[in-house]
Amino acid sequence: MSRSRRSRRKTQARQDRVVLRWLWETFVRQRILLLSAAFVLMVVESLTLGAFSYLVQPMFDDVLIQGDRAQVYVVALAMAATFLGRGLARLAGKAIIVWQAEKATAQLQSLLLGHLITLDQGFFKHMSPGVLIERVRGDSAALRSVFDALITGIGRDGSAVIVLLGVALWTDWQWTLVAMAGIPLLGVPMLAIQRLIRRRSTESRRVAAQSSNRLDEAFHGITTLQLTGSEAQELGRFNRIKEQFVSRMTRAKIGKAAVPTLLDFGAAIGFGLVLIVGGLQIIDGSRTVGQFMSFFTALGLLFDPLRRLSSLAAQWQHILASLERTHELLQVRPDVTSPPPPHMPPPARDKASVTLNNVSFAYDSDPVLRGISFEAPAGQTTAIVGPSGAGKSTVFSLLTRMIDATEGEVLIGGQDVRRMDLVQLRAQFSVVSQDTALFDETIRDNILLGAPHASDEALAEAIRAAHVNEFLPLLSKGLETRAGPRGSNLSGGQRQRVAIARALLRDTPILLLDEATSALDSRSEALVQAALSRLTTGRTTLVIAHRLSTVRDADQILVMDKGQIVEKGDHISLLALGGSYAKLHALQFADQSETSAN
């Protein structure tokens, strides 16, 4: 074996140990009593198998051949009791395992989601929702099989093998040895098959994640696919992934199925030899028919659990591969975290200014912001304008620490945002972002998100100010109407108004509005703007807008281009400057006069 392969195996073994310890400490230890009970019940179940095969001998020798009348009843009763006990033990054992396996799986999924929602944009940039859904649901199912495979496998099948082997040895140890003659031949192919399964199942889990990803994107982008006539192309992509999946999964499963087949080869040799040896001995009269039947029953019963046990090792590889990926996911640490205490307290409401000092930011290596500095004074409105892709939304993400600056500092109330508690920091902001997420809850719950304890009056006021009440009568259940998955039951403008109401209700010192009214018609926009400007008094407000008409009253306007601030001032002074802002303004003004001319 080459050195690198050996060291790879060593690393694998170390990883397996880590995963096993985690499995034990997080999921098994707390339920060890219940699981032991289930284990005992499984052992009881398999003991009954031993009892049954043992009873075959008196059945033949005493009852059927000797004709002992009294024994008929005893043996019949013992047989009946055996099967009754078996049924009850199996039901109780299975019930415990199913219950605990479901609980543990749910626990793991909750653990995963709880962990994933703390991670930052850097992580989600590389992990799509589809992949993550597959990870949370698909991979965690492995935990369910741990309980089933291990306890049922080892408890029932393991002890059945021991008990039945005991009966076989007790009946005739020489026959037993003869019967097992074929088994040593199976060792090497068995090991090879296991390796293959581990590899293929790791790959197939990966491809499964890809296919979930495609499904997720296809269903979310269904309208775009239909409008661009790309249905066939999308289906083709999906089919290619599925082809890969089929090939990997088939190989893993065939590998798994090959294990019991190997065992059957062993059985073929064993049964044949025993039949010859035992048959000749009975004809000679040195053994009874009852002995042989008892032995044969034990042997026949033995192969089933043995076959299951042998595929257990393969299944275990499959499970380990999944658990390892899950464990890995739980080890990912976010880059953006709360600093260790003591935390800087958030600034007083009237001191919540926003300052960027020479801030640069890059996704991977692409610079997005390059040395930005500005101050948005507390209680005033600062507007950010500039072409698409200039980095405006990125500035907002820095303020709320959705991302951290690669260089420079971001301050609110003169304090570095990285020295404040993350939850407290985010509690300073109400954000209406460019792509607001609504959830499949009622409109009421969507507005109350982020301010769950708001009073009914405050809710009504926010609804009025954001002009949500204008479209509520159009909806079947008004405020209690569900917004649909991602808010799909509402129009773009309606979604925006719900988002504005949500932000207003939060009543925080700083308000961030990113194209907050872009989807509204002119009349609604004017009305919502009026409500917003009432709200922005006394609050530090940052507004991003393409339509300059919405920012002309701002105390300060920042013009951004290619990750830099190129102009700064108020509407009048920027117009007088005759630079980018003036040009942008002239363009929009020309548009407007054209529209009004039409």
Ligand X SMILES: Nc1ncnc2c1ncn2[C@@H]1O[C@H](COP(=O)(O)OP(=O)(O)OP(=O)(O)O)[C@@H](O)[C@H]1O
Q: Which helix (H) or strand (E) holds 304?
A: helix 289-331
For residue 515, the minimal CB distance to ligand X (Å) is 7
Q: Under DSSP, is residue 468 helix (H, G, I), strand (E, B) or coil? A: coil
Of the two residues 139 and 514, which places its CB atom closer to Mg ion in the complex?
514
Q: Which residues bind ligand X (CB under 6 A)?
A: 125, 363, 368, 388-394, 434
Strands 540-544 and 556-561: unpaired
Q: How far is the CB of 31 from ligand X (least distance, A)?
A: 41
Binding segment for Mg ion (CB under 5 A), chosen from 170-178, 277-285, 392-400, 584-592, is 392-400
Residue 411 contact partner, candidates Mg ion, ligand X, none, CB within 5 to 8 A by sort of partner: none
Asked if residue 394 binds Mg ion (CB under 5 A), the reply is no
Least distance between Mg ion and beta carbon 400 (Å) = 14
Give whichever of 166 and 367 is closer to Mg ion, judged by the CB atom.
Answer: 367
Binding site partner of 363, from ligand X, Mg ion, none, Cβ cut-off 5-8 A by kind: ligand X
Residue 468 contacts which entry, Mg ion, ligand X, none (Cβ below 5-8 A, type-dependent): none
Q: Classify 288 as helix, strand or coil.
A: coil
Beta carbon nearer to ligand X, 102 or 407: 407
Q: Distance (Å, rounded) from C-alpha 413 to C-alpha 348?
A: 8
Least gap, CB of 368 to ligand X (angstroms): 4
397 binds Mg ion (CB under 5 A): no
**201 touches which of Mg ion, ligand X, none (CB within 5 to 8 A by kind)?**
none
Q: Distance between CA 328 and CA 205 in Å, rounded?
A: 14
In angstroms, what is the minimal distance from the CB of 382 to ligand X? 15
Residue nearer to ligand X on the CB measure, 315 or 394: 394
Shortest CB 546 distance to ligand X, Å: 7
Structure token pair of residue 318 = 């499959």
Question: Is 388 or 598 the residue whose CB approaches ligand X more closely?
Answer: 388
CB-wise, 393 or 517, nearer to ligand X? 393
380 binds Mg ion (CB under 5 A): no
Smallest gap, in angstroms, from Cβ of residue 376 to ligand X? Answer: 17
Phi, psi of 479 (to 5 degrees): -65, -20
Segment near Mg ion (CB under 5 A), from 65-73, 97-105, 390-398, 411-419?
390-398
Q: How far apart are CA 423 and CA 497, in angstroms?
A: 25
DSSP conformational letter for 407:
E
User: With CB cut-offs between 5 and 8 Å by kind, which of Mg ion, ligand X, none does residue 286 bind?
Assistant: none
Residue nearest to Mg ion (CB): 393
Taking the C-alpha atoms of residue 501 and residue 482, their distance in angstroms, rounded to an integer, is 16
Tokens of 530: 């009026």
**H/E element, 70:** helix 69-116
Return the biggest CA–CA distance within the chain.
Answer: 120
H or E segment to which residue 356 belongs: strand 354-363
Strand-pair category, 556-561 with 381-385: parallel
Task: Please identify, using beta-carbon distances, which residue of 189 and 389 lies nearer to Mg ion.
Answer: 389
- Whether 310 and 260 have beta carbons less than 8 Å apart is answered as yes
C-alpha span between 290 and 329 (Å, rounded): 58
Site string for Mg ion, 460-489 (x = CB under 5 A): ------------------------------
Q: Is 433 in the site for Mg ion (CB under 5 A)?
A: no
Contact 434/393 with Cβ under 8 angstroms? Answer: yes
* Partners of residue 513 on adjacent β-strands: 432, 543
Q: Report how many residues bind Mg ion under the rule CB under 5 A.
A: 2
Q: What is the CA radius of gyration of the chain?
A: 36
Is the CB of 51 or the CB of 545 nearer to ligand X?
A: 545
From the list ligand X, Mg ion, none, which binds 390 (C-beta under 5 to 8 Å, kind-based)?
ligand X
Q: Which partner in Mg ion, ligand X, none is near 388 (CB below 5 to 8 A by kind)?
A: ligand X
Q: In what order do the strands lie in the sheet with 366-376?
A: 366-376, 354-363, 407-412, 415-416
Alpha helices for 117-230 (secondary structure H): 121-124, 129-134, 141-147, 159-171, 173-179, 187-220, 222-227
Is 159 among the residues that bind Mg ion (CB under 5 A)?
A: no
The binder of Mg ion chosen from 194, 204, 213, 393 (CB under 5 A): 393
Cα–Cα distance measured from residue 200 to residue 321, given in angstroms and rounded to the nearest whole number: 10
Q: Which residues make Cβ contacts (< 8 Å) with residue 492, sequence separation at least 6?
A: 519
104, 31 Cβ separation under 8 angstroms? yes
- Beta bridge partners, 41, equal none
Q: Which is nearer to Mg ion, 344 or 542 (CB)?
A: 542
Residue closer to ligand X (CB basis): 513 or 531: 513
Tell me which stretch binds Mg ion (CB under 5 A): 53-61, 244-252, 253-261, 434-442: 434-442
Shortest Å, Cβ 392 to Mg ion: 5
* Least gap, CB of 513 to Mg ion (angstroms): 12
- Least separation, in Å, of the C-beta of 32 and ligand X? 45
Kindly tell me which of 381 and 393 has the beta carbon lying closer to Mg ion.
393
Nearer to Mg ion, 463 or 545 (CB): 545
Query: Residue 528 to residues 231, 392, 519, 553, 571: CA-CA distances in angstroms?
Result: 39, 22, 12, 15, 21
| Among 74-82, 169-177, 282-290, 430-438, the segment contacting Mg ion (CB under 5 A) | 430-438
Report the interface residues with Mg ion, using CB under 5 A: 393, 434
